[in-house]
Amino acid sequence: MQNRDSQPSSHPEGVEPQSEAEARPDTTIETETSDSRFPSPEKFLGTLEGRGLDNQLATYRRVLAIATALKEQGGRALLVGGSVRDVFFGQISKDFDLEVYGLEADEIEAVVQQFGKVSEVGKAFGILKVTFEGSIDIDVSLPRTDSKTGEGHRGFAVKTDPNMSFEDAARRRDFTMNALAADPLTGELYDFFGGLEDIRRRRLRITDAELFKDDPLRVMRALQFIGRFGLSVDQESQPVLMEMIPLLKELPKERIGEEWKKLLLKSDKPSLGLAAGMALGVFNELHPEFPPLAETKQEPEWHPEGDVWVHTLMAVDEAAKIARRENISSEQSLTLLLASLCHDIGKPAVTELEDGRIRSRGHEPAGEAPTKKFLAGIGLDSETQNKVVGLVKNHLMPTLLYSDEKERGRSVSDGAIRRLAQRIHPATIRDLVLVAEADHLGRGPFTEPEIVEQMLMPPNQYLAGPWLLDRARKLDVEDSKPADLTLGREWLRLGFKPGRHIGDLIRLSNELRDEKAWTREEVLWAAHAKTSPEEVIAELTVVLKDEHE
């Protein structure tokens, strides 16, 4: 291995995944090499095949083929970035990026286009994206320098240099763990800045302080790496990160949002990255909705863990565990994690001390505005925003409905379940149950046996969840909003002409079902002798308002 002094450094022998519970069983790899070498082609391919990672296996075979072809033309292709780093964290990356030395861009393109289609996107930055059958992509790039020429993320001049030294190319990478490079054909590892030692120590260290400052987004990358790999920030790197925080506002919100997605979706414990964001001052500058959570106390009877921020961190970590347990899609996971992050964001606005007790009445609706502001600030699509806001505004409902029926003896109607499913759409009852479970598990433990409500909700399980899912499943609203009781064509068959009034009739029919337990036949029978839709609407409205019906 090559390092700064051209001397071999010790390999972090037997590097293990973050923990037995946190490791992904299908993407972990044992790094048992006694020297500091990347796995040989045979060993790495064997590991991928043995794990059943067919996509990575197909990709890596192409990596080796491209590297071999480039070598035959006088070039040298090195694996760089996450694909090397992840191996020494005991994991297998989904992406493999090559950096090519000794050949000009047109020479590289002539080689790689023999293997797949080369995209025009990225060429101006010295990056060739090669696409193969099966939607497999490999980025093949030249070493380059990025010079800051102006404000914002576009204020850069990019210059490629095929003759750049390996060390100079590695110097421009953000953190030492990402400055590692490896020859996929030989397993030779290049570590000029002590990245392996930093990985062993779980330490996040900036590679070059001056070059690091070229892109403020690297501050957000720091947070997601802290969460993903359980890192602490190097003491000399911390002031550099803090100095760059004001520049984050130069960045497009979508770039910020992509780092949020990585932090939440790729971290076993997102709380680590979130806590770092709060401690470094990132949220004060970029997301002012969060700092007040750390200053808002909670009633110890229900939240012995501490303030709202502590509870939020615990809830987000529980949400990450739930997402893995349920094996849900990345879209569903993102909704769950964002809703868990924002579920109590309304508490600072409404929390008061009443008769010696801390109350946060109305914190669900109070969370709507700050949640919308945060989600819009990270450039999320409107459907995800609507899902998260609906979940935040109703996150207590599973617990409240369950407590009403099981502790207070009040029967919860089918209509109440349907109205809840309608209210949170496009999110679902299933989504809501997972958020409520994360909220419940992210606190405690409850220690007051005389409080009946606490005993109905043991700290290590969420009884309200299965109860509500069972109720919703029987009504066919577990994963969707309620179907309409009546259809437009049924009203047309009664002789009514198309128009806005048809929508009003459908809505009133649904309300009669949910509030008065009327059937479809009862609704249509009430209308059959009427001569106009206005007459029907008036009668059905009276029925709804009649408390004694």
Residue 150's pLDDT band (cuts 50, 70, 90): low
| pLDDT, tens only, 405-426 | 988 889 999 999 999 999 999 9
Confidence at 548, pLDDT banded by 50, 70, 90: very low
Q: Are 47 and 56 in contact (CB under 8 A)?
A: no
Task: Render pLDDT for 203-237 as a digit per residue (tens, 0 to 9).
Answer: 999 999 999 999 999 999 999 999 999 999 999 99
> Contact 12/30 with Cβ under 8 angstroms?
no
Q: How many residues does the chain have?
A: 549
What fold, for 216-286?
Answer: Hydrophobic Seed Protein (1.10.110)
List where CATH 1.10.110.30 sits in the chain. 216-286
| Per-residue buried b or exposed e for 204-213, using 16+ beta carbons within 10 Å of the residue's own CB | bbbbbeebbe
**Ordered alpha helix ranges (H), 343-428:** 347-350, 363-366, 368-377, 382-393, 397-406, 414-424
Residue range(s) occupied by CATH 3.30.460.10 in the chain: 2-201
Contact 214, 156 (CB under 8 A): yes
Q: How confident is the model at residue 18 (pLDDT cuts 50, 70, 90)?
A: very low
Question: For strand 144-148 and strand 156-160, is the pairing parallel, antiparallel, or unpaired?
Answer: antiparallel
Contact 429, 469 (CB under 8 A): yes
**Confidence at residue 10, expressed as pLDDT on a 0 to 100 scale:** 29
Q: How far is CA 510 from CA 350, 398, 441, in A?
A: 34, 22, 35
Give how far Cα 286 sits from Cα of 217, 254, 283, 375, 492, Å: 12, 13, 5, 12, 54
What residue ranges of the chain are covered by domains with CATH 1.10.3210?
291-474
Band (pLDDT 50/70/90 cuts) for residue 25 is very low
Cα separation, 203 vs 121, whole angstroms? 34
CB-based contacts of 317: which residues, under 8 Å, 6+ apart?
269, 270, 271, 442
Architecture in CATH for domain 2-201: 2-Layer Sandwich (3.30)
- CATH number listed for the domain at residues 291-474: 1.10.3210
Backbone φ, ψ for residue 129 (5° rounding): -95, 115
Burial (0-12, 13-18, 19+ Cβ within 10 Å), 222: buried
Q: Quick check: 356 and 231 in contact, CB under 8 A?
A: no
For the segment 515-542, what is each residue's pLDDT rounded down to a tens digit? 999 999 999 998 888 889 999 999 899 9
- The string of pLDDT tens digits covering residues 74-94 is 999 999 999 999 999 999 998
Q: Are strands 136-141 and 97-101 parallel, antiparallel or unpaired?
A: parallel
